[in-house]
Amino acid sequence: MANVLPADVLPADATPVLAVEGLRKSFGTNEVLKGIDLKVGAGERIAILGSSGSGKSTFLRCINFMETPSAGRIALDGTPIGTEGRNGALTAKSGELRRLRTRVGMIFQQFNLFPHMSVLENVMEGPVTVKGLPKAEARAKAQDYLKRVGLAEKADQYPQRLSGGQQQRVAIARALAMEPEILLFDEPTSSLDPELVGEVLDVILGLSREGRTMLLVTHELGFAYHFATRVLFLHEGRIHEQGTPDEVLKNPREERTQAFLHRFSAFHF
Amino acid sequence: MQYVWDFRPVWLNFGVLLEGLVNTLKLSGFSIGLGLVIGLVLAMGRLAPTRFLSIPATAIIEFYRNTPPLVHFFWYFYGLPILTGISLTPFAAAAAALSVQSGAFFAEVFRGGIVSVERGQWEAGRAIGMGHAQLMRRVILPQAFRRMIPPLMERSFELVKTTSLAATLTYGELVYKAMVLATQTYRPMEIYSTVAVMFFTVLFLASLGMRAVEHRLARRAAR
């Protein structure tokens, strides 16, 4: 597999696509992220694992400022996002947020398709409303992306007519239509019926063959193994262990990681 | 005691009552239209991310919701000329009072509809880079609107009935016409009962019509 670049192997002269430094996030008095450092090279695919409450979703959501970081730095292609306020928290103006989010796409656990728009309109919405693309061009592009996720024939349907797996594939097409440099997946298969998980994972694996930079929070360990170039294990708001899938998933060094993996494989037979 | 009902004076002057009804509907229609605009502006203000907008909007909404409408009528009709020298016609004063007051109520309906849209919808819009205004216009309001229709109807019916306060400003709506007729004919029982039936007929028919519209919207939403 190409681009296997754990943090410390990243060429010294290469600017990381995404650089996170000392990222902290608190909700009230509850500190969920306690200082996260991460450099992501172009084309890296990072699977983020951890038990619930480890901060993995919050970490992902801080990257595109769905949650505002309480402290630390986030830089895209070497350019820092937001400015540090008096209390150390990062703030970003609306124009900056828009640029950030057109470059960093996100896929949610609950799909969150727009129910009042057809599948095609869902995918066109970002390019037309946010990027100002002419409708005809956006439509052609949206049809392409729907074809990519195998749903070209559903273009005129409304989301509620689609299965969960199909909805999530539309959501991926919607994110792709913005042509982002980085894709964030927040537990993309956690709310799907087991028999629908495969079709979504297939689409994500397809994207990984295109060399896209992706970060994925998941509980599907087997998928993480095949998908990722690097695996992070988060524990209590810190990166507890990281490395290649083989290192972290097959030969974890840390006790916590071992216990976590053991719990997840307890019912294998 | 045996009261002898006599509706002849009502029939003889029915044209006057009809004219009053038309004026009531004119005032209602105008105030509902303007009230919806004011309500939307106030709701957007209250939900705006900056305090410069949300605090004044909240203050106006709470003030108008918690003071009696008759007082608003008097302010606009009697108070405004004293304070500013601007005097309004009875219609204009009544329309101003009604639209701002119902705007405050409409604003709360709008706000309720807006905040009832699932968090995931807000996040999905933001995640593709939408700003606050785009998010409202393209994602939130179209979904919130359907849920707002029943409570907006309720408020509008309330407003139609509140137009009767314009009688105190001598605006010739239905209740004012009825007051005049009652003093001329000494048949207040018959006249006010007729007025009640007229209000009932109009509002009941309107609610039947609205139920049909809601039904169609619900069917369309289930497609």
Q: What are the sequence ranges of the domains in chain A?
A: 7-111+182-264
Categorize the per-residue pLDDT at A133 as very low, low, confident or very high, splitting at 50, 70 and 90.
very high
Q: Give me the mean pLDDT over the A213-220 stretch.
A: 94
pLDDT at residue A267, rounded to an integer: 62
Q: Read off the tokens for B68.
A: 């009696």
| Amino acid, single-letter form, for residue A190 | S
Does A158 have pLDDT greater than 50?
Answer: yes
Categorize the per-residue pLDDT at B1 as very low, low, confident or very high, splitting at 50, 70 and 90.
confident
Task: Choose the mutation target among B122, B128, B147 for the interface with A, i.e. most A CBs under 10 Å.
Answer: B128
Distance from CA of A88 to the nearest CA of B (A): 21
Q: Give me the mean pLDDT over the A42-66 stretch.
A: 94
The chain-wide mean pLDDT, for chain B, equals 91
pLDDT at residue A94, rounded to an integer: 86
Q: Read off the tokens for A134.
A: 């002419």
Does A8 have pLDDT greater than 80?
Answer: no
Q: Which residues of chain B lie closer than 8 angstroms to A125, CB-CB?
A: 128, 138
Q: Please, are residues A171 and A202 in contact by the beta-carbon 8 Å criterion?
A: no
- Which residues are within 8 A (CB) of A190 and not within 5 positions of it... i.e. 6 or more apart? A109, A218, A219
Paired residues of A213 in beta bridges: A182
**β-strand pairing of A230-235 with A45-49:** parallel
Categorize the per-residue pLDDT at A110 as very low, low, confident or very high, splitting at 50, 70 and 90.
very high
Q: Give me the mean pLDDT over the A32-41 stretch.
A: 95
CATH entry 1.10.3720.10 includes domain B8-221: yes
The chain-wide mean pLDDT, for chain A, equals 91
Which among A111, A116, A126 is the nearest to B128, CB-wise? A126
Query: Strands, DSSP E only, in chain A?
Result: 18-27, 30-40, 45-49, 71-76, 79-80, 83-84, 90-91, 104-107, 182-186, 213-217, 230-235, 238-243
Tell me which chain A residue has its CA closest to the CA of residue B132: A94
Q: Give me the mean pLDDT over the B93-114 stretch.
A: 94
Categorize the per-residue pLDDT at A11 as very low, low, confident or very high, splitting at 50, 70 and 90.
low
Distance from CA of B58 to the nearest CA of A (A): 24
Q: CB–CB of A126 and B120 under 8 A?
A: no
Q: Give me the mean pLDDT over the A142-155 stretch.
A: 95
Q: Give me the mean pLDDT over the B197-207 stretch.
A: 94
ipTM over 0.85: yes
Q: Please, are residues A232 and A36 in contact by the beta-carbon 8 Å criterion?
A: no
Class of domain A7-111+182-264: alpha beta
Categorize the per-residue pLDDT at A12 as very low, low, confident or very high, splitting at 50, 70 and 90.
low
Rounded CA separation A131/B150 (Å):
36
Cβ–Cβ contact A159 with B under 8 A: no
pLDDT at residue A268, rounded to an integer: 57
Closest CA to A26 of A18, A36, A34, A17: A34
Distance from CA of B123 to the nearest CA of A (A): 7
Categorize the per-residue pLDDT at A53 as very low, low, confident or very high, splitting at 50, 70 and 90.
confident
Rounded CA separation A168/A100 (Å):
22
pLDDT at residue A68, rounded to an integer: 92
Distance from CA of B108 to the nearest CA of A (A): 23
- Which residues are within 8 A (CB) of B71 and not within 5 positions of it... i.e. 6 or more apart? none
- Which residues are within 8 A (CB) of A70 and not within 5 positions of it... i.e. 6 or more apart? A24, A25, A26, A31, A33, A87, A88, A89
Q: Give me the mean pLDDT over the A176-188 stretch.
A: 96
Q: Please, are residues B27 and B171 in contact by the beta-carbon 8 Å criterion?
A: yes
Rounded CA separation B157/A132 (Å):
42
b/e B20-35 (16+ beta carbons within 10 angstroms → b): bbebbeebbebbbebb
Which among B118, B129, B142 is the nearest to A101, CB-wise? B129
- Which residues are within 8 A (CB) of A74 and not within 5 positions of it... i.e. 6 or more apart? A18, A19, A20, A21, A23, A62, A63, A80, A81, A82, A90
Q: Give me the mean pLDDT over the B33-59 stretch.
A: 93
Q: Please, are residues A159 and A195 in contact by the beta-carbon 8 Å criterion?
A: no
Give the other-Cβ count within 10 Å of A214's Cβ.
25
Rounded CA separation A235/A36 (Å):
11
Q: CB–CB of B129 and A116 under 8 A?
A: no
Cβ–Cβ contact A125 with B under 8 A: yes
- Percentage with pLDDT > 90 across chain B: 78
Q: Please, are residues B104 and B60 in contact by the beta-carbon 8 Å criterion?
A: yes
Q: Give me the mean pLDDT over the A134-163 stretch.
A: 95
Closest CA to B106 of B33, B214, B210, B23: B33
Q: CB–CB of A97 and B142 under 8 A?
A: no
* Domain definitions of chain B by residue range: 8-221
- Encode pLDDT of B156-182 as tens digits: 999 999 999 999 998 999 999 999 999
pLDDT at residue A10, rounded to an integer: 55
Task: Give the CA distances from residue A98 to residues A120, B23, B75, B131, B135, in Å, rounded to whole numbers and listed in that order.
Answer: 22, 50, 46, 7, 12
Paired residues of A27 in beta bridges: A30
Q: CB–CB of A112 and B124 under 8 A?
A: yes
Q: CB–CB of B132 and A105 under 8 A?
A: no
pLDDT at residue A5, rounded to an integer: 47
Give the other-Cβ count within 10 Å of B64's Cβ.
20
Does A7 have pLDDT greater than 60?
Answer: no
Q: CB–CB of B127 and A102 under 8 A?
A: no
pLDDT at residue A1, rounded to an integer: 40
Cβ–Cβ contact A191 with B under 8 A: no
Q: Give me the mean pLDDT over the A72-90 stretch.
A: 89
Contacting A with CB below 8 Å, chain B residues are 118, 120-121, 123-132, 134, 138-139, 142-143, 223
Q: CB–CB of B142 and A116 under 8 A?
A: yes
Does B221 have pLDDT greater than 80?
Answer: no
Q: Give me the mean pLDDT over the B70-78 stretch.
A: 93
Q: Read off the tokens for B109.
A: 């309906």
Which among B121, B138, B223 is the nearest to A112, CB-wise? B121
